[in-house]
Each structure stands twice: as structure tokens, then as C-alpha cells.
Amino acid sequence: MSAYLTNINRRKIVKIQEIREENSTIKTFTFHDKRCAEAKPGQFVMVWIPGVDEIPMSLSTISPDGLSSITVAEVGEATKALHQRKIDDVLGIRGPYGNGFTLTSGKVMIVGGGTGLTPLVPLVESLLKLPAKISFLIGAKTKDELFLLDRLGAAVQELTVATEDGSYGLKGLVTDPAEQMLKRQRFNMIYACGPERMLLRMFLLAEQHDMSFQASFERYIRCGIGICGSCCMGEFRICKDGPVFSSRQLRKVKNEFGVFKREADGSKVGF
């Protein structure tokens, strides 16, 4: 095993330096880690909450000085325990792992739903260095679930927000304004992260309009290094071959993509 792989697989203990409440259910935890400073947008880390569990998390901040962050929704035992942590409490970090986004200059569309916004913020910050003209679309069920709007609003040229109940921005699914935009404009790349049914819809729209597409997937990941097979999607492992996949790859798993996923015990459940 190379020194690099040994290094990223070794858990590093970090201290929480800052905690920011994004909304009633989401918090951002900031820490310092030199390995995370070298991550690509879309890569993830395995976060160990001492005495509880280890879970995969996308990086919401990637900084050259090593200041990094994860943005976490409270949805289960591990994330609830993480939300109870305080400044100066410790976490274990392994990684970064997986394949990140391939950067494309020119005109790009980015679509994020729910906590899928998390890896898209570092993506925006990297694209702006190319440069790129970004149309960013955000979707949520209700206004109270929105977050990171301040960071995104200051960075992108065009920001569209849709909530399912109409409490903020447009009313409906975020894929609706995306579909209308794709009828009027061509993009060099479409990026997306969020619920898998949303990703499927965006993939089909990209195929319909013959545009390049990349999607970051959120599925059950146990080991993070491609050994256990818990995160398989067809021939691919989300942790090792992803979590970012291209149109070419997604065409190979059309029978599973957006149809079903695997639980912790390996059983298949539909979306």
C-alpha cells in the first residue's frame, strides 16, 4: 500500500473549531485538516463520532489553509450525537475518498436539493477560478429547510430557488425551472446533487437535450474504501467509483439508478 493511501486511511483526530447553525436541523462543523485541504469538490470523508459511529460526509468547505467543514442534517443516531458536540470536542476524520467533480469552464448549470447542496458549494468556488458562468438552482420542501443561500448568492451569476410548498421562491420541484431553462439555453455541463429521484430527472433532461451531466450520489456507505460492497449501484461502488458519476457511467446502471437502493443489511428498497 502506498504512503498516500496509508495516510488517508489513517484516522486523524481533529478538534471542532466552529459550529454554525444553518437552520433548525442543519449545522456546519469547522475543523483543521491538511489532507482535506487537498480534496477535490465532491469527495467525502468518513467522520467518526467517538463512542457512536462512523459516517460519510461531503466537505462543504475546502480551504488551502486546511480549514474544512462538514454540513450535517440531524437524521439519525450518529448525526444527532454529532449535533450535540461542542467547540473543542474531537472527531475522527478519514479520507478524503472517492472521485470528485470534473471541472468544466464556460456555461454551467448546478442543481442542488436538500442537503445535496453541501458538496456543490466548493464546486462553485472552484469553477469560478476557471472561469465559469453559473446558473444555480436550489430545491427544498419548505423555506425552513433552506441553507447556505448567503454563500451561494454572493458567488453565482444566477440563483433560482424552488420550494415544494411555495414558502420561498418558486412553488414546485427544482427540476421544473431547470427543465424550462434547458429548453432556452445550452450548457457546457450540468452538475447535480440531492435526492436520487431528482438526480434521475436531471439525468433524463440532460440526455434529452444532449448535454453533459455529472451527479454526486448519497447512499449508504460503510467502509469508504470499496471493500464491503454496501454501497453498490450495479457494477459501481459509490465510495470508490463515485460518489460523482458521469452520464456515460449512469447509462450502465439505468435499471437501478433512481429505482432502488440498499439498506444497511444489503436489502433493496425502492425510492
pLDDT digits (tens, 9 = 90+) for 135-164: 999 999 999 999 988 888 888 889 999 999
pLDDT of residue 1: 47
Please identify, among 49, 73, 97, the residue that sits at the C-terminal boundary of a domain: 97
Please identify, among 41, 73, 97, the residue that sits at the C-terminal boundary of a domain: 97
Asked if 79 contacts 57 with a C-beta cutoff of 8 angstroms, the reply is: no
Helix (H, G, I), strand (E, B) or coil at 233: strand
Look at residue 266 and tell me if it is in a domain. Answer: no
What pTM does this model have? Answer: 0.93
pLDDT of residue 267: 74
Q: What is the CATH number of the domain that holds 52?
A: 2.40.30.10
CA atoms of 220 and 222, how far apart (whole Å): 7
Look at residue 267 and tell me if it is in a domain. Answer: no
Please identify, among 66, 97, 128, the residue that sits at the C-terminal boundary of a domain: 97
pLDDT of residue 7: 67
What confidence category does residue 94 fall into, taking pLDDT thresholds of 50, 70 and 90? Answer: very high
249 and 166 assigned to the same domain: yes
Mean pLDDT, rounded, for 105-132: 94
**Nearest-10 crossing angle of helices 175-184, 196-208:** 10
For residue 57, pLDDT over 60 is answered with yes
69 and 111 assigned to the same domain: no
Look at residue 214 and tell me if it is in a domain. Answer: yes
Q: What is the CATH number of the domain that holds 136?
A: 3.40.50.80
Of residues 166 and 267, which shows the higher confidence score? Answer: 166
Q: At a CB cut-off of 8 Å and minimum separation 6, what does 136 contact?
A: 109, 110, 111, 112, 120, 124, 152, 156, 158, 159, 160
Q: Cα angle at 252 between 248 and 253, to 5 degrees?
A: 120
Mean pLDDT, rounded, for 180-184: 97
What confidence category does residue 2 fall into, taking pLDDT thresholds of 50, 70 and 90? Answer: low
Number of domains in the chain: 2
Q: How many CB atoms lie within 10 A of CB 267?
A: 9
For residue 180, pLDDT over 90 is answered with yes
pLDDT of residue 158: 93
246 and 120 assigned to the same domain: yes
CA atoms of 153 and 155, how far apart (whole Å): 6
110 and 208 assigned to the same domain: yes
Fill in the DSSP letter of residue 243. Answer: B
pLDDT tens-digit series, residues 41-54 = 999 999 999 999 99
pLDDT of residue 142: 95
% of the chain with per-residue pLDDT over 90: 73
Mean pLDDT, rounded, for 117-146: 94
CA atoms of 142 and 145, how far apart (whole Å): 6
User: Which grid cell sits at 17?
Assistant: 473549531
Name the residue type at position 136.
Answer: F
By residue range, what is the domain housing residue 10? 3-97
Q: Which of 13-17, 113-117, 187-191 has the lowest mean pLDDT?
A: 113-117
Count Cβ neighbours within 10 Å for each residue of 157-175 and write b for 16 or more, e otherwise.
Answer: eebbbbbeeeebbeeebbb
